[in-house]
Amino acid sequence: MPVFDLFQSPLLLMLLPVVAFLYASVGHGGASGYLALMSLFAFPISLMKPTALVLNILVSGISFYFYYREKKFEWPLFWPFAITSIPCSFLGGLLTVEAQVYKIILGSVLMVAVLRLLGFLGKSPGQIKPVHLPSALLIGALIGFISGLIGIGGGIILSPVLLLLGWAQMKQTAAVSALFILVNSLSGLLGLISKGDVLPATSWMVALVVAFGGILGGYYGSRKFNTVTLRYVLALVLGIAVFKLYTV
């Protein structure tokens, strides 16, 4: 499917800002959602990865701004993961995997996203524990590499880890995840560009559409906002995408 087909899919263009809104409300960039939608519309991997990363950079940056403004960001919670994830994301972006392997990895990450959206992975812990530095460095490296490999920012993986291990509350997790996604997406995109991949011109234009959803999601999510019903709908969409990835 040629790149200009992004504008020949009005349903996709309507769904992308909805995904951005939902993900930005919890401090995410939405790459797993964009990839799921593009896979449902049978877009090629060569288009999916760079487009998802560009949209991810935009929406995660918007989300981080709103959470930072609400004083939810904590630097000591961010840097142990970012210091290893950034170079590993670049390395992941340099690699090209076979389509079938890519589908398996993406499907696994989307399953994590579904479980996260349904509330099975991570709730605000009652007591916050200090971050275990060696574990954080290793986790950051693994998430960064996977992120660069498939074209996501890694926040959908980092968020449940922070909550399950009791290292952060929900709002702090969202703020840290937003910046984590931003830096990893930039690093992964640089990896793609450095190996000669060309960014589709439409990904920048579609970014304008997605920005609207990201601004609304970041604004409401950084305050008191409940998107339970909408998250269930998004979980259903991701679940359908996982089914398609594993059966086609």
**DSSP conformation letters of the chain:** --GGGGGG-HHHHHHHHHHHHHHHTTT---HHHHHHHHHHTT--HHHHHHHHHHHHHHHHHHHHHHHHHTT---HHHHHHHHHHHHHHHHHHHH----HHHHHHHHHHHHHHHHHHHTT-S----SS-----HHHHHHHHHHHHHHHHHHT--SHHHHHHHHHHTT---HHHHHHHHHHHHHHHHHHHHHHHHHTTPPPPHHHHHHHHHHHHHHHHHHHHHTSS---HHHHHHHHHHHHHHHHHHHH-
The predicted structure's pLDDT at residue 60: 93
Nearby residues of 184 by Cβ (< 8 Å), 6 or more positions away: 82, 85, 86, 89, 143, 144, 147, 148, 152, 153, 154
Nearest one of 86, 16, 91, 3 to 45, comparing CA atoms = 3
Instruction: Return d(Cα 86, Cα 180) in angstroms, integer.
Output: 9
**Dihedral angle, C-alpha 170, 209, 65, 124, nearest 10 °:** 0
Tokens of 224: 């008191």
The predicted structure's pLDDT at residue 120: 77
Beta carbons within 10 angstroms of residue 69's beta carbon: 13
The predicted structure's pLDDT at residue 1: 42
pLDDT tens digits, the chain, 248 residues: what are they?
444 455 567 788 888 898 898 888 878 888 888 888 888 887 887 788 888 899 999 999 999 999 899 888 999 999 999 999 999 999 999 988 888 888 888 888 888 878 877 777 666 566 788 999 999 999 999 999 999 999 999 988 898 888 888 898 888 888 999 999 999 999 999 998 888 777 777 666 788 889 989 998 888 877 766 556 656 766 776 787 788 777 76
The predicted structure's pLDDT at residue 45: 77
172-188 pLDDT per residue, tens: 888 999 999 999 999 99
The predicted structure's pLDDT at residue 142: 96
Taking the model in full, what pTM does it have?
Answer: 0.85
What is the domain partition of the chain in residue ranges? 6-247
CA–CA distances in Å: residue 181 to residues 11, 118, 177, 232: 26, 21, 6, 22
The predicted structure's pLDDT at residue 59: 93
